[in-house]
């Protein structure tokens, strides 16, 4: 049985993983894509890389080799709805799409399923991998669930759990999810194509976790211990690191390591020493050494922060 699929996605790596596996699934027909396009390359170039071949693409200005797949921008969901009313997809698939897809669109598919890069109901929201690293979760994973009028709240149909090493960055964790996302997307399409029904597990969904960015990216020297600061650095990598301030100056801590107990108790956030290894900073439970910092978009030695003994970070 042919499975007609329309996908909502973004430039996120896990969205890339979901879209990349689709062309290799037998008896699947692409109907179209609705994307949050990245900055830089054209959407045609991006989707071409995403699915492994530019041959399947159509834009309003350029038609290439069949089969052609229309592309839609996330700001034009009315056009998407009109398109899907005529196409009647078997599966509306979402992965990494940052907007809540209206019920008026969801009900146009026989199935409307989101692939979420986190374990539900524990880690709902837009940055579940970051939160798993930030909070020191021993495991994380991928959840496929039916979409509703709330984010990450519908019945679960597939879930894969993966061990999360304590020293991984969010980037490493996201990359490791790619194969699991492929397994789940393939299982969804095969299940629909076989005409079977999914074993749906209702979830008691709570509020979505806030995105781990902005003010939540800053170290709270009064409550974060050394291990917590290290996890915050890892949770923001590879795009950034843990943020802190010295007066009006914002700094990005890329890699830190515990430095043990303080000889004399100091206020957390106080620079205790500056050595070849980098600045040593007091924490709630001891101290950390800032091995590396992100400066001007480049990873540099922690010494490049040019901190002095007695400086107080906030």
125: left (phi over 0), alpha (psi -120 to 50) or beta: left
Domains, the chain, in order of start with CATH, read: 3-193 (3.40.50.170), 214-305 (3.10.25.10)
In this structure, the chain runs to a length of 314
d(CA 99, CA 113): 14
Residue 255 CB partners (closer than 8 Å, separation 6+)? 233, 241, 290, 291, 292
E strands, 15-134, are 28-35, 71-73, 91-94, 111-116
pTM over 0.85: yes
Distances (CA, A) of 20 to 48, 51, 148, 243: 10, 5, 25, 34
Q: Distance between CA atoms of 202 and 200, rounded to whole angstroms?
A: 6
d(CA 252, CA 295): 7
DSSP class of 108: T
Three-state secondary structure call for residue 181 = helix
What is the chain's pLDDT, residue by residue, as a tens digit (314 residues)? 899 999 999 888 888 888 888 888 999 998 998 987 655 544 445 444 444 433 333 333 333 333 457 889 888 999 999 999 999 999 999 999 999 999 999 999 999 999 999 999 999 999 999 999 999 999 999 999 999 999 999 999 999 999 999 999 999 999 999 889 999 999 999 999 998 789 999 998 778 899 999 999 999 999 999 999 999 999 999 999 999 999 999 999 999 999 977 767 899 999 999 999 999 999 999 999 999 999 999 999 999 999 999 999 99
């Amino acid at each position: 049985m042919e499975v007609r699929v329309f996908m909502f996605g973004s430039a996120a790596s896990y969205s890339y993983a979901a879209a990349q596996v689709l062309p290799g699934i037998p008896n699947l027909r692409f109907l179209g894509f609705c994307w949050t396009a990245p900055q830089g390359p054209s959407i045609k170039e991006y989707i071409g890389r995403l699915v492994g071949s530019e041959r399947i693409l159509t834009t309003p200005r350029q038609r290439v080799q069949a089969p052609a797949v229309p592309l839609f921008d996330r700001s034009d969901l009315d056009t998407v709805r009109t398109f899907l009313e005529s196409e009647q997809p078997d599966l509306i698939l979402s992965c990494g799409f940052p907007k809540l897809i209206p019920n008026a669109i969801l009900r146009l598919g026989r199935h409307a399923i989101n692939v979420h890069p986190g374990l539900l109901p524990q880690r709902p929201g837009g940055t579940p991998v970051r939160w798993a690293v930030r909070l020191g979760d021993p495991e994380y994973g991928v959840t496929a669930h039916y979409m509703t009028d709330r984010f990450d709240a519908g019945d679960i149909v597939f879930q894969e759990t993966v061990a999360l090493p304590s020293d991984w960055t969010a980037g490493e964790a996201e990359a490791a999810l790619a194969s699991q996302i492929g397994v789940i997307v393939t299982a969804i399409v095969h299940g629909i194509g076989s005409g079977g029904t999914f074993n749906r597990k209702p979830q008691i969904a709570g509020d979505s976790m806030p995105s781990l960015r902005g003010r939540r990216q800053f170290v709270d020297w009064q409550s974060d211990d050394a291990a917590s600061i290290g996890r915050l650095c890892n949770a923001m990598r590879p795009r950034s690191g843990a943020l802190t301030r010295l007066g009006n100056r914002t700094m990005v801590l890329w890699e830190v390591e515990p430095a043990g107990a303080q000889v004399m108790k100091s206020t957390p956030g106080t620079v205790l020493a500056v050595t070849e290894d980098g600045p040593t900073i007091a924490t709630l439970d001891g101290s950390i050494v800032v091995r590396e910092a992100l400066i001007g978009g480049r990873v540099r030695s922690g010494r490049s922060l040019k901190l002095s003994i007695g400086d107080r970070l906030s």
